[in-house]
Amino acid sequence: MPPTTKPRASVQDALPLANQPDPAQLDSIKAQLDLVLLALEALAGIGSDAMLQAADTLGLTEAIADRVALWRLRQSSPLRKGQGRKRMDVDEARSLVLIICHLAQQHQELIRRAVTLLEQLTEQGREPHQTALLGDYLDTFHNTYQERMDDDAATPDQLTYLALKLLIDLLFYGTPHGARRLWMALIDRAK
């Protein structure tokens, strides 16, 4: 079956940008995209195969052709150990947004179940670790974050807060307008 490559203009049309981000803004976007992917990995157990399959399904193989290209993009996060020297352009960032939202849609039921559980536990005044789903998610997020990120100062409470915030964000990114929502959040955060 031939690849379903779409022209890059479709990525630009789907996620408009008024002004090109400066290098500091692009670093913020890269860091946030990597964190959102980390949360998705920790919750749904997805890996590079699922991300590459999503890129193929969405016709984004021009931007993310293989594991090396994906690794290079993930490694461009300024939060990563041995990081930041790899480049990521705006269209590659847009491609990652579309991939994240596609995967969030695929795992929407799991994300919704986790957020509902979090709401119930919060109402009951119980800790998220007291359930298998959230406990496994938080443990995987903490471990993967500490493995990959160059941030020895983050406390367990800070990582739990980050993981739960990203979990709630994923709920919105998996909706029909999730890609635009994530893109606008990245742009706003980078200002």
Residue ranges per domain, the chain?
22-78+85-190
Paired tokens of 81: 């150990």
Paired tokens of 72: 């290079």
Q: Of 70, 105, 72, 90, which Cα lies nearest the Cα of 28?
A: 90
State the Cα–Cα distance between residues 53 and 11, nearest whole angstrom. Answer: 17
pLDDT of residue 9: 52
pLDDT of residue 160: 97
Give 24's pLDDT tier (boundaries 50, 70, 90).
confident
pLDDT of residue 1: 40
Least confident segment among 3-17, 19-33, 79-93, 95-109: 3-17
State the Cα–Cα distance between residues 14 and 80, nearest whole angstrom. Answer: 28
Least confident segment among 19-28, 120-129, 168-177: 19-28
pTM: 0.89
Average pLDDT, whole number, for the chain? 89
Burial 82-119 (b: 16+ CB within 10 A, else e): ebeeeebebbbbbbbbbbbbbbbbbbbebbeebbebbe
Residues in the chain: 191
Q: Of 93, 105, 116, 118, which Cα lies nearest the Cα of 170?
A: 105
pLDDT of residue 55: 94
Helix (H, G, I), strand (E, B) or coil at 48: helix
State the Cα–Cα distance between residues 71 and 47, nearest whole angstrom. Answer: 11
66 DSSP assignment: S
Give 2's pLDDT tier (boundaries 50, 70, 90).
very low
Q: Of 161, 181, 25, which Cα lies nearest the Cα of 104?
A: 181
Q: Does the pLDDT at position 50 exceed 90?
A: yes
Report how far apart, in Å, the C-alpha atoms of 167 and of each of 1, 18, 40, 174, 185 are: 35, 28, 8, 11, 15
